Copies of this chain bind each other. A is one copy, B any other.
C-alpha cells in the first residue's frame, strides 16, 4: 500500500471526525437507545433478532444463526429462549411482577412454569437487592434450568403470606444463537475488530448504548475506504464471542487491533482498559487519544473480568483488543439494575465516546514508520518553504512536528512512538509527515523495501 493511500484513508477518517454534527448525532444515538431499550433480549431468541433488525436500519449487518447444540470450544450453543409473557400475582390477585412492564422482572432464561406456590417456596425463586431496596436487579440462569422473578427489595419485604400465582410463558427449545456482523473491506487484509454485546435486556447503558455506538461507528467506517479491514460484531456476551471465535479461528488470527465497546453513554469518565499484552498499538493509540482529549478519563490495566475482551484476550488468542467504556463494568450503582434506564444515558456522552473511538481508529489508520531520506544533519527546510521567515514565526507545534519526525524517522520509530516521545499530538505529526513526504524528505519504511 502506498503512503499516499494510507494518508488518504486516515485523512478521510480525520475529516469525518471534524465534520461530526454533535447535536444531530447525539439525538440519533439516543433515539436508537430508546428504541432498543424496551426489548427483552437474551443470549438467543427473537429479542436479539429484533434488536439487530433495528440496527440494520443504520448499517447493513449480516445476520448469522448458529444452531443450538453446536460445540464451540469448551461450550455448546444453548437452546433458544423466547418470552411470550410472565406475571407473578399476589394472594389477592395484585400484580407483583410483570415482564411486559419491565422485562428485568423475569429471571432471564426462566423455564416455563404455571402454578400456585406458597410464599415460603416462592422466596427461593425471588431476587432482590437488600442494599439497593428500590431497584430491580437483572439476573439470568442460562445454564441451569430455573424460573424466577426479580423485584425491588421494598416490594419483596411487603409480600404477604399466602399462595402466589406464577405464569411464565416462555420457550426453551432447539433453535439458534444469532449475531450480526459488518465487514468493511480495507486496503489491507489485517483487521480491526469492534465488538459489542447485545444480550442484555432493558439496561440502557449496558448495552443499548454500546449497540447504538457501534452501529454509528460501523456506518461511518463503511462510508470510507479505510486502510485496515474492519469487522464489527454485534454478539451475545461470552457465548457469542466464544461462538464466533470457535467458528472463525483463521479470521481471528487476522485481527491486528480491536476494541470492545460497551457502557458508552453514562455521564462518567471515559475509560480504556488495556489489552492482555498491555502495550499494544491499540493500547498506545487509546492512551494517546485520551491523554490529549481534554476530557476526564482513566486508563486501566487488563483484567480477565469485564466484557468480551476476556474472550479475545484468552491465552489461546491473546488478541490486541482493549475495551472502551465510560464508567466500567460493575462500578456504577445502577449497574445491572432497573436504575440503568433511559435517563441514565446522555446524548453528549454517547457522542464523546464515539468521537474517542473514531480518534483511536484514526491513529491506527494513520500510524506508520518512516525513514528520513536526508538523515545526516537536518535538511534545509527553508528552501522547501517549511521554515518560518525572519520576523514571522511558523506555528511552533508545526515546526516541532517537522523536527521530531525528521529526527526520529530512522525506520525504528512509528509516528505514534514519535508522538509519545515528543508529547505532540499524533495528528500534528501525521501532517508533518505528509508535508515532509511531499517535499521528498521522507518515505514510508514499507515503500523502501
| Residues of A participating in the B interface, judged by any CB pair closer than 8 Å | 72-75, 107, 127, 139-141, 143-144, 146, 148, 238, 241-242, 245-246, 249, 276, 301, 303-305, 310-311, 313-318, 372, 374-380, 382-383, 389-391, 400, 403-404, 406-410, 421-422
Q: How distant is A174 from chain B, measured CB to nearest CB, in Å?
A: 19
Q: How distant is A32 from chain B, measured CB to nearest CB, in Å?
A: 29
Are B141 and A378 in contact, CB atoms less than 8 angstroms apart? Answer: no
- C-alpha gap A37/B390 in the complex (Å): 23
Are B276 and A391 in contact, CB atoms less than 8 angstroms apart? Answer: no
**Chain B residues, Cβ within 8 Å of A382:** 143-144
**Chain B residues, Cβ within 8 Å of A375:** 314-316
Are B143 and A316 in contact, CB atoms less than 8 angstroms apart? Answer: no
Are A390 and B276 in contact, CB atoms less than 8 angstroms apart? Answer: no
18 extra A-B contacts, CB within 8 A, seeds A146-B390, A304-B400, A314-B407: A73-B379, A74-B377, A75-B377, A127-B390, A141-B390, A143-B380, A144-B389, A246-B376, A246-B377, A276-B407, A303-B403, A304-B407, A314-B378, A315-B375, A315-B408, A316-B372, A317-B376, A317-B377
10 A-B pairs (CB sep. < 8 Å): A73-B376, A127-B390, A139-B391, A144-B382, A304-B378, A304-B407, A304-B408, A310-B403, A310-B407, A315-B407
A421 nearest CB neighbor, chain B only: B301
- Picked from B148, B314, B372, B406, the residue with its CB within 8 Å of the CB of A377 is B314
Are B315 and A377 in contact, CB atoms less than 8 angstroms apart? Answer: no
Are B315 and A378 in contact, CB atoms less than 8 angstroms apart? Answer: no
A241 nearest CB neighbor, chain B only: B377
Q: Given A146-B390, A410-B315, A410-B318, A377–B242 Cβ distance below 8 Å?
A: yes
Q: How distant is A242 from chain B, measured CB to nearest CB, in Å?
A: 4
Q: How distant is A10 from chain B, measured CB to nearest CB, in Å?
A: 23
| Complex A-B, nearest 3 residue pairs according to Cβ-Cβ distance, in ascending order | A316-B375, A316-B376, A304-B407
- C-alpha gap A404/B314 in the complex (Å): 10
Are A304 and B403 in contact, CB atoms less than 8 angstroms apart? Answer: yes
**Chain B residues, Cβ within 8 Å of A140:** 390
**Chain B residues, Cβ within 8 Å of A314:** 372, 375-378, 406-407
**Chain B residues, Cβ within 8 Å of A107:** 390
**Chain B residues, Cβ within 8 Å of A318:** 410
A372 nearest CB neighbor, chain B only: B315
- C-alpha gap A73/B238 in the complex (Å): 59
Q: How distant is A45 from chain B, measured CB to nearest CB, in Å?
A: 18
- C-alpha gap A391/B407 in the complex (Å): 59
- C-alpha gap A303/B408 in the complex (Å): 10
Q: Given A390-B139, A390-B140, A374–B74 Cβ distance below 8 Å?
A: yes
Are B378 and A310 in contact, CB atoms less than 8 angstroms apart? Answer: yes
**Chain B residues, Cβ within 8 Å of A305:** 400, 403
Are A74 and B379 in contact, CB atoms less than 8 angstroms apart? Answer: yes
**Chain B residues, Cβ within 8 Å of A316:** 372, 375-377
